């Protein structure tokens, strides 16, 4: 995969996993054990959905605020689990108070301008991202739809336009979203004020293609 000299790559020893969800939770636990200290910190889990990652952050001692534009998948007893739920579009959510921001399964549901605006508002914080990565060489192996074949250049970024679906996991309003190549993500993260970027390996496969976790720090 194309990358950058300044993108750090960390390979995680993860052992076996049952399915994609289990693997993602394992990666997050592994990050909280070895790399990211959330204990006593204010963590915002953006686009939290069923709040599985919020719960894990809570287990590790964080004060957790789960934010989602939908509440139908949020467990009814979420407050009893010690997690604050905020029903709001994250594009209008004030992030100033938070130390750590989780953007899992969400960035690739946004248009480019909204991605830039959100990441700029995270400047100075520790940010973890889990997102689809557009890998042109993988499309041949995992062909799904026509849109996967149309690499576009957009304001200096490179990727594909993904047509948002009408389901509880999709974007709450925009109709298209932008999936970057890894080189383009790197440019996005640095442009938004993050100069210390780690990509975690292995890359993993969702039903729509390749994904990766990233850790973004200001320096
Ligand atoms: C693919 S799910 C990811 C859920 C969870 N973070 C995970 O990784 O398993 C995307 C979530 O983001 C929420 N979402 C999408 N656009 C949003 C927006 N603009 N503001 C708030 N939540 C949004 C959806 O309602 C959905 O719960």
CA proximity to 128, closest of 69, 187, 199, 22: 199
Pocket perturbation via mutation, ligand 1, pick of 21, 43, 47, 164 by most ligand atoms within 8 A of CB? 47
Whose C-alpha lies nearest to ligand 1, atom 25?
Answer: 70
- Residue 91 counted as domain residue: yes
- Residue 68 counted as domain residue: yes
Give SS3 for 187. helix
Q: Is 209 left (phi over 0), alpha (psi -120 to 50) or beta?
A: left
Rounded to 5 degrees, φ, ψ at 49 are 55, -120
For residue 150, the enclosing domain spans 8-217
Ligand 1 centroid vs 51 CA: distance in angstroms? 10
- Residue 2 counted as domain residue: no
Mean pLDDT in order along the chain per 10 residues (219 residues): 70 88 96 96 98 98 98 96 98 98 97 98 97 79 61 94 88 92 96 96 86 94
Ligand 1 centroid vs 5 CA: distance in angstroms? 31
**Tokens linked to 203:** 């890359």
Token pair 């959510």: residue: 93
Whose C-alpha lies nearest to ligand 1, atom 2?
Answer: 169
- Residue 71 counted as domain residue: yes
- Cα–Cα distance, 132 to 161 (Å, whole number): 12
Q: Which atom of ligand 1 is nearest to the CA of 91?
A: 19
Q: What is the pLDDT of residue 145?
A: 63
- Cα–Cα distance, 139 to 218 (Å, whole number): 33
Ligand 1 centroid vs 2 CA: distance in angstroms? 28
Asked if residue 106 lies in contact with residue 46, where contact means CB atoms within 8 angstroms, the answer is yes
Ligand 1 centroid vs 149 CA: distance in angstroms? 25
- Residue 139 counted as domain residue: yes
- Residue 189 counted as domain residue: yes
Ligand 1 centroid vs 88 CA: distance in angstroms? 11
Domain count, the chain: 1
Residue 210 pairs with which residues in a beta bridge? 205
Q: What is the pLDDT of residue 163?
A: 87
- Residue 1 counted as domain residue: no
- Residue 128 counted as domain residue: yes
- Cα–Cα distance, 106 to 84 (Å, whole number): 19
- Tell me: cis bond preceding 202? Omega within 30 of 0 counts: yes
Residues within a 6 A CB radius of ligand 1 = 47-49, 53, 68-70, 89-91, 104-106, 109, 169, 171-172
> What CATH number should be reported for the domain holding residue 117?
3.40.50.150
CA proximity to 156, closest of 186, 195, 120: 186
Q: What is the pLDDT of residue 2?
A: 42
Q: What is the pLDDT of residue 3?
A: 46
- Cα–Cα distance, 179 to 145 (Å, whole number): 14
């Amino acid at each position: 995969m194309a990358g950058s000299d300044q993108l750090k790559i960390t390979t995680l020893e993860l052992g076996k996993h049952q399915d994609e969800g289990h693997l993602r939770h394992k990666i997050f636990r592994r990050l909280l054990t070895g790399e990211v200290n959330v204990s006593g910190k204010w963590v915002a889990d953006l686009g939290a959905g069923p709040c599985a990652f919020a719960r894990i952050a809570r287990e590790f001692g964080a004060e957790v605020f789960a934010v989602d534009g939908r509440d139908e998948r949020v467990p009814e007893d979420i407050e009893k689990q010690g997690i604050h739920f905020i029903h709001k579009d994250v594009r209008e959510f004030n992030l100033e108070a938070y130390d750590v921001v989780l953007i899992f399964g969400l960035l690739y549901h946004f248009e480019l301008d909204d991605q830039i605006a959100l990441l700029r508002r995270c400047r100075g914080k520790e940010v973890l991202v889990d997102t689809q990565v557009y890998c042109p060489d993988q499309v041949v192996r995992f062909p799904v739809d026509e849109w996967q074949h149309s690499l576009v250049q957009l304001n200096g970024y490179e990727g594909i336009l993904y047509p948002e679906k009408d389901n509880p996991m999709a974007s709450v309003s925009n109709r298209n979203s932008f999936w970057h190549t890894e080189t383009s993500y790197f440019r996005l993260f640095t442009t938004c004020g993050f100069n210390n970027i780690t990509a975690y390996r292995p890359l993993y496969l969702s039903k729509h293609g390749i994904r990766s976790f990233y850790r973004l720090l200001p320096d």
